[in-house]
Structure 1
Amino acid sequence: MFQGPTARVLTGAAAAVAGLALATPAWAASGASLNPSHKGSTAANFQQECNDKRMAGRQADQDGWHFVLPGGPSAGGFASLSLTFNDGVSDVYIAIPDAHDAYPDAFYEAGGRQIHAYLFTPAGWTLKDGKAKVTEQAAFFNLSHTCAGTPSTPDPEPSTPAPTPSTPVDEPTPGPSEPPVDEPTETPSVPVDEPTPGPSEPGQEPSETPGTDPSAAPSTPAAGDEGGLPVTGAAAATIALVGLGLVGGGAAMVMMRRRKVTFTS
């Protein structure tokens, strides 16, 4: 075994190697977070530097974002970034670099280190959070400055008048059908010759002739009604017959008298 100064040198060397073995994985997995004071920023309310020449490719309806890794050479440089934005409806996750998404991005070096990152997003988005992979060690990275764009206004769609709902018409519910009623056919009235009333016996009332309108015939008061008018038709006929009988009898007596006189002479 080694003793004295040699042993101490070997012990120190072993400790240094062990320390390197433990530290190396930590450097390889080093990450940095977005500065907490920059979370929740929009391009319009942050420090704007639209004269930055690297913002020249930005469209009018895009926001430009510039991120920077502070700390000097000990921080190394950006390997990648993962950023979270909100578009007003939902969260949007963007990776830098990514040549296949709809958000232009780029890294730029300074002093041999890749410490600048640029990103263009639709105007009006909010930066919520971010993570970065760095080649050395760094606790955080910053949003350096922005250049705000103007949110695009979608073309209004032609308004189509809403169809007016038709009001249903309540149709009457058919009820049970009634059988047709046969209306009586008018039969032309044939005038009926009314017989001439003959002489009636005294005390006998003339009977109504069938087919005559009872309302048209004179009403005969009922027998025994007091205060009614006398029946004159039967009395006149009776008087006429009696008169004719008397006249006929008188004529017969005159002719018999004449014959008697002639016979005597």
Structure 2
Amino acid sequence: MELKQSLAPRKGLRLAVALGLLGALALGSPAQAADLTVPINEDHVGKPATYFEEGCGSDSQLPDDLGADEDGWVFVLPGGNDIFISVSVTFLDEDGGEHAEEGTVVTTGGSGNLKHAYIITPAGWTIKEASAVIEGDSKFFNVTHTCPGTPGEEEPSSPGEEPSSPGEEPSPPGEESSTPGEASTSPAGSNLPVTGTPLTIALVSAAALAAGGAALYMIQRRRREAQDW
């Protein structure tokens, strides 16, 4: 009977110690931080890539093969231990069209800290709005730097090629334009009278024949008058 009574306090002591250890572990373990959605810094909305500090290449969290007509955008969280889960940005192109882009989260060097993200766009776009899902306490995120490109231009025309005059239509193949002041040639088989030297000769010949006939008539008339005399 005395043995049973001595064991009871020991069981109670062990239970109290176990509960104390569990409580200590619960209080000592930090609570898992919930994901937080934050906007971009308002001062960075509507700005082109040329507005920000320039940084290009892998040392600036961007690909090395960035095109000359592309903009590279790099985003950062201001909190030292905060990390990106995702980044979503809506851009406006030069014509006002909207384009939704997702960022690529990258580390800084070999630190493994996921506080940077980048997006590649055609040159000349601007940010309309942006948000990010993060782990941490940051209230917003920033554009830390960009690698601006040059908007593409239309290809020039081939050397020596001149644009045609407005309203000018090309001549059909094989057809030559007439020279101003040059008389056109009559079509073959035309019934129009032939002008020029042949007609002049005919008129002169007719006049000569008429004159000869008149002279002969006068001679014959005089002979008759002489005979009658």
Aligned twin of 1:94 = 101
Q: Is 1:58 aligned to 2:66, yes or no?
A: yes
Deviations 1:180-236 (A, max 9, x none): xxxxxxxxxxxxxxxxxxxxxxxxxxxxxxxxxxxxxxxxxxxxxxxxxxxxxxxxx
Question: Which stretches in structure 1 are left out of the alignment for 5+ residues?
Answer: 1-5, 97-105, 165-265
Report SS of the residue matched to 1:114: coil
Q: CA deviation at 1:123?
A: 0.6
Q: Is 1:138 aligned to 2:141, yes or no?
A: no
Amino acid at match of 1:94: E
Report SS of the residue matched to 2:143: strand
Deviations 1:93-141 (A, max 9, x none): 1122xxxxxxxxx322233321111221111111122100012332111
Q: 1:52 to 1:113 in 2, by over 3 A?
A: closer
1:149-164 → structure 2 map (5 Å cutoff): 149-155=149-155
Deviations 1:151-207 (A, max 9, x none): 10133689786688xxxxxxxxxxxxxxxxxxxxxxxxxxxxxxxxxxxxxxxxxxx
Amino acid at match of 2:36: S
Report SS of the residue matched to 2:114: strand
Aligned twin of 1:45 = 51
* Contact kept? 2:79, 2:136, Cα under 8 Å: no
Amino acid at match of 1:125: W
TM-score (norm 2): 0.50
1:185-200 → structure 2 map (5 Å cutoff): none
* Contact kept? 1:69, 1:142, Cα under 8 Å: yes
Deviations 1:38-65 (A, max 9, x none): 1111111222123664352210001111
Q: Is 1:70 aligned to 2:78, yes or no?
A: yes
Bigger Rg over Cα = 1
Q: Is 1:34 aligned to 2:40, yes or no?
A: yes
* Contact kept? 1:31, 1:138, Cα under 8 Å: no
Aligned twin of 2:172 = none
Report SS of the residue matched to 2:50: helix
TM-score (norm 1): 0.44
Q: 1:136, 1:72 → 2: CA distance? A: 9
Which of the residues 104, 107, 123 maps onto 2:105? 107
